[in-house]
Structure 1
Amino acid sequence: MKNFKIRSIKNKIVLAVFLMVSGLFWSCSDDILDKVPLDSYTDASVWNDLKLTEAFVNNLYNVLPTTQHNWDTATNRTWALSASCDEAYNKFNDYNSSIINSGALTPDNMNEFDIWAPTYAIIQNCNILLSKIDHVPGDAQWRNRLKGEGTFLRAYAYFKLIRDYGGVPLVKEPFDLNSNFNVDRSSYDACAAFISDELDKAATMLPLDQSGANLGRITKAAALALKSRTLLYAASPQWNPSNDLTKWKKASDAAKAVIDLNAFQLYTGNYADLFTTANSEIIAVRLSSKVPQWSAFNGVEMFNSPSGFHGWASFAPSQNLIDAFGTADGKDITDPTSGYDPQKPYKNRDPRFYKDIVYDGRSYGNPAFCQDRYKAGHSNMAEFYEGGLDSPQGWDTWNNSATRYTFRKYCDTTFNYNTETQTNKPYIISRLAEIYLNYAEAQFKTGNDATALQYLNLIRKRAGINNDLPALSGTALENKIYNERQIELCFEGHRYYDVRRWKIAEVTENKPLMGVIITKNTNGTKTYTYTKVQDRVFKPQHYLLPIPRTEMNRTSLVQNPGYN
């Protein structure tokens, strides 16, 4: 399906309405033979056959993130969120991240980072679905499930909008050509309440979970998990400056509701497999189909593997992120008793570090898939040191990692990404560890430090850290909650929003993004020099994105502060 880049709500909606009015998928009743096309369907057909209605719903799933890169498609900037905060660096400026990081963001230059128009196009189609679904004949249970999915997907679309722009116009009915397109912005709280209520409705219409051929379809658990995230954001300092504890209580209750489903468990197998296989921890996942390799790129591996393995190192972990990982006994590397040595930086680290990050000296992938390295007298051990195969002086030098790290997380090393792609590669929408972290944060904010520590320790123990946290409280506990989210959820699209909702982005995003230069000495030892990769600038207005200029010119909307 082509992505028509029409940069306004009105034009997107007019296009959607035109497609509906003229027969949705190109019907033609005036053909001289008066035949029904075999490859398209009329509006009436879609709303009279649940199979066709389901096909319509399937297209709405495009609002969800996916592992497919799709070359700057604005609705799917999963990895780009890492490169637009202190988590990672992208040397190719995918999704216009340099504008974000340089402090130059305006209503005129967001380009592919802007999701306003395409997300409202999804909302329009959700509204059409919800206005029609009750009258589609057929199995009531099937119809109810599709209605629940549409309700969830509209709520998800609004959640995407409010976390980027704040309060937005709440459009609940489908526009037609006679509609008034000047709908005022609702408050953030009103939008969050609408999303929460809609997710409650969706939960009543959806099965608890899905498997087999339906794996990847929205479930009751997915709806409750998104409600948890929505209410956590609404309770956070960005939207709750007075620290209203009733908001934190709602966030706590929402997270506990997911936990109390007793349908999910922290995955205790190989931690790296959590992100590449179906398992007990995943609550909601978006699957992507197999496509030609040089087309849409299912390949997270191609984008994120080291250059000496013929990957592109597109989203390279920052030294800032590396330093967030503690030591094997759970201490911060800044703790003088941790034993951390910056000249032996990869020894005795948090077990998640070894599963999430490719660093100098780490083995990567199946040796059978990189025989050219062996034939050249090397191995499958990453060589980010100067002169190594994965360095600026090595192979595929235009793709070398500027930070001297790449992500192992989400990379499936059981296949050769240089010659094949995969079917149904997952992108995790939500998982139980996030819900535990949501609950820990909300419990801390409502004064229940012991419960917060309990859930942090569950996550750390699963990771392989056997020492419980000490009896932390106050700022020390809050910082540990922040740190655990930074580590456990890295490269999953959370950090960009977490530092904003916590109102700490003016600190975290106003620091240089760092990397390391590794020199191999003649005696075989290595020297590590920590160096700036990129200056970063964050201004107060950047807590929100600006509403695009094209939209402002067509409406009477109020612009976000600092962008006039």
Structure 2
Amino acid sequence: MKNYKINKLINIKKKAVMAAALFIAVAAVTSCSEDPLDKAPLDSYTDENVWNDLKLTEAFANNLYTVLPSTQHNWNDRTNRSWILSTACDEAFNNFNDYDVWNLNSGALTPDNAGDFNTWKPTYATIQNCNIFLSRIDNVPGDEAWRNRLKGEVLFLRAYAYFKLISDYGGVPLVTVPFDLNSNFKVDRSSYDQCADFVVGELDKAAELLPLTAKDLGRVTKGAALAIKSRMLLYAASPQWNPSNDLTKWKKASDAAKAVMDLNMYSLYDKKYEDLFTTNNSEVIFSRLSSKDPQWSAFNGVEMFNSPSGFHGWANFAPSQSHIDAYGTADGKDITDPTSGYDPQKPYVNRDPRFYKNIVYDGRAYGKPEFFQDRYDAGSSNKAEFYEGGLDSPQGWDTWNASKTRYTFRKYCDTTYNYNNETQTNKAWIISRLGEIYLNYAESEFKLGHEGTAIQYLNLLRQRAGITNPLTGLTGTALENKIRNERQVELCLEGFRYYDVRRWKIAEETENKPLMGVIITKNSDGSKTYTYSKVQERIFKPQHYLLPIPRDETNRTGLPQNPGYN
């Protein structure tokens, strides 16, 4: 895939943004015009420049896209929690405590130690800059259509920022005008429903201004706005925020998902499933692409982060055993079904086809053989060796990077190039795709009592994946569990599971137990024995359904803290 033009604009014009940020430092112009020091800087722009030139205004808007998640793993970008969300729930283990996630895992989370997992301040910084933009854009001279598109993009980005905040913290202060140095910074928290209504309204406004297709890959479109609206309304209808099960909320969620489908702009990707996550294709509604960087640049290599240690990867986001067990068998049955044929001593045989596309497990071939000649020189091959003593085990190569669960993710990895020697390829973090919309629709329709429709959309996804037998006859709790299981498998490593278990109010069950991995022993006759062991103790307390507001923020503003964190 080609680089985003948007990212190029961000890099070229970034100082234009800084000129109009919250704390603007504009040099005073002296009255002595002949002063040789009285000259406009050549490497930056004044506030006046930015709001009188649509190109510079667009550069300002481009920089606001940083509120969106991406594949890049920059520790100084505290708004970007793409990968780490999987390790903050039962989906995966993080090898190196990135973003201070172990404080959350251990049940020790407080308003003082959330660290880089806490996105309150950087997200509000983006909202401030969105507010500056929206207060000025209508008066920028130039083409009206261009101006309206930019306005639609920033309305979307501000709405997305608030969607992130309320998903993490519940109701938050709604700030819609830019602060200045004379502002009263004490703004009351709005309720969750008030915030959700605001997000939905802003996304509707954005959708009216945005095009169906974008000239530059990665720009916000009408479909992107409607897709996030679908997610917002799904979350608002869920038990966490809809304990009375108000069906009008589920109807809004259903209608919002249907509106995305009715655009007739997207279709399920029906080619190689793994390519869905490494190509721009018919299923992707909205994604954010990282630039092609030299390998090791800012530690951004997706393959480097996700690959097994014996392939010189870091195994940084290692799938948990509970995630592995979520994959059924090839005919669609749960592995706990006694008729499924699942053999716990042959655990990787006859599984859901997505298991083989998403996971690197013991014995799975990975990457082109010629990329890993050193493994062959050692008498091995490009098949993963997670068994005790194998090249990818804690007793093998690069042991400090070994997967603690004895699995790694294949999903999102481009195995057509040698990440150890070549420049990393362009990577797109999928923010929304049609598969999610089908699942949003299925869940909403189930809650409205339309079980046949829910099954229909589950089957579309399962058949696309290659599962041979369609779902039939499921109803009630069994169907609801299947919908949840389908989200767990289909949307893995895409940042959904963390929020799903919270909005369903099941996190006290899924998160409040040890995260497990497998121990594989290779026997003298070549057979293997599989046992399961604790990788990390996990503790979930009732207050963990929401994050704590940073203590310095509550001290400064007097905002009420979330329950359980005082």
TM-score normalised to the size of structure 2?
Answer: 0.95
Q: Is the 8 A contact 1:315 1:407 kept in 2?
A: yes
Mark the runs of 5 or more structure 1 residues left unpaired by the alignment: 2-12
Q: In structure 2, the residue corresponding to 1:296 is in which secondary structure? A: helix
- State the match for 2:38 in structure 1: 34
What's 2:267 paired with? 265
Distance in 2 (CA, whole Å) between partners of 1:109 and 1:15 is 32
Residue 344 of structure 1 aligns to which amino acid in structure 2? K
Query: Is residue 18 of structure 1 aligned with residue 23 of structure 2?
Result: yes
Single out whichever of 68-77 and 431-440 deviates more from structure 2.
68-77
Task: State yes or no: 1:172 paired with 2:176.
Answer: yes
From 254, 257, 272, the counterpart of 1:255:
257
- The one-letter amino acid of 1:97's match is V
Q: How does 1:119-198 map onto structure 2 within 5 Å?
A: 119-198=123-202
Residues 14 and 177, structure 1, Cα contact 8 Å, conserved in 2: no
Cα distance in structure 2, aligned partners of 1:185 and 1:410: 38
Structure 1 counterpart of 2:107, from 86, 103, 106: 103
Deviations along 1:44-78, one digit per CA (max 9) or x if unpaired, are: 11111111011101110000000000026321111
Q: Look up the equivalent residue of 1:325 and give its one-letter code.
A: Y
Q: 1:56 aligns with which of 54, 57, 60?
A: 60
Of residues 543, 546, 558, the one that matches 1:544 is 546
| From 54, 58, 82, the counterpart of 2:86 | 82
User: Contact 2:266–2:282 at 8 Å: present in 1 too?
Assistant: yes
SS at match of 1:365: coil
Could you list the per-position Cα deviations for residues 173-202 of structure 1 after superposition, in whole angstroms to 9, with x for gaps in the alignment? 001111110000000000000000000000
Among 211, 218, 221, the residue aligned to 2:223:
221
Equivalences for residues 156-555 of structure 1 within 5 A: 156-211=160-215, 214-555=216-557
Contact 2:99 2:117 (C-alpha < 8 Å) held by counterparts: yes
SS at match of 2:520: strand
Per the alignment, in what secondary structure is the counterpart of residue 347 of structure 2? Answer: coil
| Cα separation, partners in 2 of 1:254 and 1:416, compared to 1, 3 Å | same
Alignment correspondent of 2:11: none
Q: Which amino acid aligns with 2:297?
A: S
Aligned-partner Cα distance in 2 for 1:222–1:60: 16
The share of aligned pairs that are identical, in percent, is 77
SS in 1 for 2:110: coil
Measured after TM superposition, the shift of residue 366 of structure 1 is 1.4
Deviation at 1:423, TM superposition (A): 4.9
Residue 375 of structure 1, CA deviation: 1.3
1-structure distance, mates of 2:371, 2:29: 55
* Conservation of the 8 A alpha-carbon contact between 1:298 and 1:425: no
1:44 aligns with 2:44: no
Alpha-carbon distance between aligned partners in 2 of 1:91 and 1:313, rounded to the nearest angstrom = 7
C-alpha offsets along residues 487-546 of structure 1, whole Å, 9 cap, x if unaligned? 000000000000000000000001211100001111111111111111110000000001
How far off is 1:414 after superposition? 1.4
My pick for the range that moved more, 167-176 or 412-421, is: 412-421
Which residue identity is paired with 2:176? K
Partners of 1:423 and 1:393 in 2: how far apart? 31
After superposition, the Cα gap between the structure-2 partners of 1:48 and 1:15, relative to the gap in structure 1 and judged at 3 Å, is closer
Which of 544, 556, 560 is the aligned partner of 1:558? Answer: 560
Q: CA deviation at 1:97?
A: 1.1
Q: Is this contact kept in 2: 1:125–1:174, CA < 8 A?
A: yes
Contact 2:171/2:193 (8 A) holds in 1: yes
Larger deviation, residues 220-229 vs 73-82 = 73-82
Q: Distance in 2 between matches of 1:248 and 1:14?
A: 44
Amino acid at match of 2:391: L
- Per-residue deviation, 1:15: 10
**Which runs of at least 4 in structure 1 moved beyond 6 Å after TM superposition?**
none
> What letter matches 1:420 in structure 2?
E
Q: Equivalent residue of 1:182, what SS?
A: coil
Deviation per CA, 1:140-181: give whole Å up to 9, x if none: 111111000000000000000000000000000001111110
Let me know the Cα RMSD of the aligned residues: 1.5
Change (3 A) 1:239 1:528: same
Aligned partners of 1:29 and 1:36 also within 8 Å: no
1:290–1:28 Cα change, 3 Å: farther
CA displacement at 1:33 relative to structure 2? 3.1
The secondary structure found in structure 1 opposite 2:83 is: helix
Query: For 2:440 and 2:289, how far apart are their aligned partners in 1?
Result: 24
Does 362-371 or 223-232 show the bigger shift?
362-371
C-alpha contact 2:250 2:447 (8 A) present in aligned 1: yes
CA drift at 1:230 = 0.3
Provide the C-alpha distance between the structure 2 equivalents of 1:61 and 1:423, rounded to a whole number of angstroms: 21
Aligned partners of 2:423, 2:448: CA distance in 1, in Å? 47
Residue type of the alignment partner of 1:145: R
Structure 1 Cα separation of the partners of residues 129 and 21 of structure 2: 7
Return the letter of the residue paired with 2:23.
F
The answer to whether the Cα contact below 8 Å between 2:213 and 2:221 also exists between their aligned partners in 1 is yes
- Once the two structures are TM-superposed, the CA of residue 90 in structure 1 deviates from its matched residue by 1.0
The separation in 2 between residues aligned to 1:72 and 1:136, in whole angstroms, is 32
Amino acid corresponding to residue 74 of structure 2 in structure 1: N
Q: Which moved more, 1:269-278 or 1:297-306?
A: 297-306
CA distance in 1, matches of 2:426, 2:56: 22
Alignment gaps of 5+ in structure 2: 1-6, 8-17
Tell me, in whole angstroms, the C-alpha distance in 2 between the residues paired with 1:132 and 1:15: 11
CA contact (8 A) 2:295 2:424 kept: no
Q: State the secondary structure of the residue aligned to 2:428.
A: strand
Deviates more, 1:290-299 or 1:403-412: 290-299
Are the structure 2 counterparts of residues 498 and 251 from structure 1 closer, same or farther at C-alpha, using a change threshold of 3 Å? same
Are the counterparts in 2 of residues 289 and 422 from structure 1 also a CA contact under 8 Å? no
* C-alpha separation in 1, matches of 2:103 and 2:36: 54
What amino acid sits opposite 1:422 in the alignment?
A: Q
Asked whether the 8 Å contact 1:291–1:297 carries over to 2, the reply is no
> Residue 110 of structure 2 aligns to which amino acid in structure 1?
T
Structure 2 residue aligned with 1:8: none
Match for 1:92 among 88, 92, 96? 96
Contact 2:443 2:483 in 1 (8 A): yes
Q: 2: distance between equivalents of 1:426 and 1:277?
A: 8
Structure 1 residue 464 displacement after superposition:
0.3
Task: Check the 8 A contact 1:88/1:318 in 2, yes or no.
Answer: yes
On the 8 A contact 2:389/2:395 being kept in 1, the answer is yes
2:20–2:47 Cα contact (<8 Å) kept: no
Q: Contact between 2:19 and 2:47, CA under 8 Å: does it hold in 1?
A: no
Q: Which amino acid aligns with 2:417?
A: F
Superposed CA offset, 1:193-214 (max 9, x none): 0000000000011111225xx0
